[in-house]
Amino acid sequence: MLENLTLKEASDGLRAKKIKPSELLNDNLERLKNVNTELNIYLTETAEIAKNQASEADLRQEKGNFLSLLDGIPGALKDIVNTKGIRSTSASKILENFIPPYNATVAQKLFDAGLVLTGKTNTDEFACGGTTEFSAFGVTKNPWDKERVAGGSSGGSAAAVASRTCQYAIGTDTGGSIRQPASFCGISGLKVTYGRVSRSGVTAMASSLDTVGPMARTVEDLAMVMEVIAGTDINDSTTPKIDVPKYTELLNQDLKGLKIGIPREYFTEKLDDENRQIIQNALKEYEKMGAVLKEINLPATKYAVAIYYIISPAELSANLARFDGIRYGLKPEGNVDDIADQYYKTRNQGFGPEVKRRILTGNYVLSAGYFDAYYKKALKIRTLIKQDFENAFKDVDVIMCPVTLSSAYKIGAKNDDVLSMYLEDAFTIPASMAGVPSLSIPCGFNSENLPIGLQIIGPQFSEDKILNIGHQFQLMTDWHKKSAI
Ligand code: GLN
């Protein structure tokens, strides 16, 4: 039963000595055992490591010297977060047996805070995708409906939390990969401001867009994780020296007079009707709390998906060039003729079809003849998207809109039409392009009993503000309390 506790409840229970870390872990592992075979959430389970970590936390509890509010609490890491001595695959065959020699900063910070690691979660290969169907190790199923995808690419982390195998999980979001699976699985997820959380040791997808962030059942839980993982890191020069607020102490601000921008471009006819209605009901809830709604325009939104699929493959192709079959990772089967053949065979055998498609696109848009026409132009349009947000935030405090066009779709539904899958990211990519923080919280269920998410976007480094706004909603509603299992 203890697996049903939120992170905050578990933390309070541990501090009051009502429960022990090892008891909490046992219940989580029991659940994990029951669901993982069917849902394919974890690529590597780390029960033995977790048991040791929990017994150490038991001792700290006895002595009354917990390391942090997260100490002794089970959590999971997306498998692109590298962990020392623990297999980290990025859901790719090319790294199937890779055991990293060091921890990613985010993993190290969490271990130092007393993380009890339940395991490494499934993802699309190198985080390229929106369903986890592009994982080399099979799709993760949605705990609300096993015929549907959990979303992606952090689908494993979302399903791990939604099926209550751990109290929180770490995901990454480059174009929507925390917010969309959070929305599909009925949990809360935060894409942070670019640079707020260190990317060091997290396998790079598109370096100018990648962010690392928390996923949990409640916004309050996200705030607790953020206090541990946010901040500057000597190993990641994109993490500025900006103080990390005490997020958990800023969750009590009332919303009277809050100006909420509603972007016209996000409420197009492509938006599912039920989804639209559910979002509108959520906005009414905010009006009841004293907020004021204002329609706004984000005119460059229409270019976002197109330029994302130029910029992100360009960066991906450069990042994945390190997988050459020589330094580490897969060694190709059979004889190789020469170095070029070695590269060819490694990549041909090691990368899946979606990653190959993106490497080809990336090389194409970066090649001499097309660089100006595609890549440079895309960067210019990216600036327009950024300016859209800067202009909007002169008039409103935050922006609210849907996370996705629809709820979780059936496994295989978009297999023959990858473009329609790409277009599904239309509402999450713009905030990624602008580098601004964005929260996804459950705000209702459709007639098929599938969760729908509300997206709350704020200016750079306003995580404290959007977390408070999300938390106030969860004080008034109970969508986040519904259980998939
Ligand atoms: N679904 C998007 C893609 O396929 C986003 C991925 C991500 O955020 N990692 O690129």
Q: Is the pLDDT of residue 269 over 90?
A: no
What residue spans of 335-376 are helical by DSSP H? 339-350, 353-366
Q: Is the pLDDT of residue 272 over 90?
A: no
Q: For residue 72, which of 86, 60, 87 has the smallest C-alpha distance?
A: 60
Instruction: Identify the pLDDT of residue 281.
Output: 98
DSSP state of 85: T
Instruction: Identify the pLDDT of residue 334.
Output: 86
Query: In whole angstroms, what is the distance from residue 87 CA to residue 65 CA?
Result: 31
| Torsion sign over Cα 313, 319, 324, 329 | negative
Question: Which ligand 1 atom is at minimum distance from the Cα of 205?
Answer: 9
Strand 211-216, strand 141-142: pairing: unpaired
Catalytic residues: 78, 153, 177
Tokens representing 93 are 């065959």
d(CA 443, ligand 1 centre) in Å = 23
Q: How many CB atoms lie within 10 A of CB 85?
A: 11
Instruction: Identify the pLDDT of residue 213.
Output: 98
CA-nearest residue for atom 5, ligand 1, is 175
Query: In whole angstroms, what is the distance from residue 355 CA to residue 349 CA?
Result: 12
Q: What is the CATH number of domain 2-257+437-481?
A: 3.90.1300.10
Query: What average pLDDT is seen over the chain?
Result: 97
Cβ(205) to ligand 1 under 6 A? yes
Best residue among 125, 178, 312 to mutate for probing ligand 1, ranked by most atoms within 8 Å of CB: 312
pLDDT confidence of 381, banded at 50, 70, 90?
Answer: very high
pLDDT confidence of 127, banded at 50, 70, 90?
Answer: very high
Instruction: Identify the pLDDT of residue 432.
Output: 98
Cβ(127) to ligand 1 under 6 A? yes
Cβ(210) to ligand 1 under 6 A? no
Best residue among 78, 123, 174, 422 to mutate for probing ligand 1, ranked by most atoms within 8 Å of CB: 174
Q: Is the pLDDT of residue 331 over 90?
A: no
Cβ(362) to ligand 1 under 6 A? no
Tokens representing 113 are 């805070």
Mean pLDDT of 95-124: 97
Tokens representing 188 are 């809360």
Question: Which ligand 1 atom is at minimum distance from the Cα of 206?
Answer: 9
Instruction: Identify the pLDDT of residue 404.
Output: 96
d(CA 362, ligand 1 centre) in Å = 15
Best residue among 81, 153, 309, 316 to mutate for probing ligand 1, ranked by most atoms within 8 Å of CB: 153
Mean pLDDT of 319-330: 89
Tokens representing 127 are 């985080």
d(CA 287, ligand 1 centre) in Å = 32
Angle at alpha carbon of residue 265, lines to 413 and 190, rounded to 5°: 70
Task: Encode pLDDT of 186-228 as tens digits.
Answer: 999 999 999 999 999 999 999 999 999 999 999 999 999 999 9
Cβ(125) to ligand 1 under 6 A? no
d(CA 459, ligand 1 centre) in Å = 22
d(CA 26, ligand 1 centre) in Å = 34
Contact (Cβ atoms closer than 8 angstroms) between residue 185 and residue 448: no
Cβ(177) to ligand 1 under 6 A? yes
Cβ(128) to ligand 1 under 6 A? yes
Contact (Cβ atoms closer than 8 angstroms) between residue 50 and residue 117: yes
Q: Is the pLDDT of residue 374 over 90?
A: yes
Amino acid identity, residue 478?
Answer: D
Query: In whole angstroms, what is the distance from residue 276 CA to residue 19 CA?
Result: 42
Question: Which ligand 1 atom is at minimum distance from the Cα of 172?
Answer: 9
Question: Which ligand 1 atom is at minimum distance from the Cα of 354?
Answer: 4
Residue 158: phi and psi, rounded to 5, are -65, -45
Q: How many CB atoms lie within 10 A of CB 136?
A: 20
Query: In whole angstroms, what is the distance from residue 85 CA to residue 210 CA?
Result: 24
Strand 168-173, strand 74-78: pairing: parallel
Task: Encode pLDDT of 54-103 as tens digits.
Answer: 999 999 999 999 999 999 999 999 999 999 999 999 999 999 999 999 99
Query: In whole angstroms, what is the distance from residue 179 CA to residue 438 CA?
Result: 8
Angle at alpha carbon of residue 441, lines to 216 and 481, rounded to 5°: 65
Query: In whole angstroms, what is the distance from residue 125 CA to residue 316 CA?
Result: 12
Cβ(155) to ligand 1 under 6 A? no
Cβ(130) to ligand 1 under 6 A? yes
Structure-model confidence comparison of residues 324 and 389, the more confident one: 389
d(CA 298, ligand 1 centre) in Å = 21
Cβ(245) to ligand 1 under 6 A? no
Question: 172's torsion region: left (phi>0), alpha (psi -120 to 50) or beta?
Answer: beta
- Helix 47-63 to helix 21-39 angle, to the nearest 10 degrees? 160
DSSP state of 376: I
d(CA 315, ligand 1 centre) in Å = 13
Instruction: Identify the pLDDT of residue 329.
Output: 83
Tokens representing 107 are 């993993």
Task: Encode pLDDT of 134-150 as tens digits.
Answer: 999 999 999 999 999 99
Cα-trace Rg, the chain: 21
What residue spans of 95-143 are helical by DSSP H? 105-112
pLDDT confidence of 326, banded at 50, 70, 90?
Answer: confident
Query: In whole angstroms, what is the distance from residue 456 CA to residue 403 CA?
Result: 9
- The secondary structure element, H or E, covering residue 60 is helix 47-63
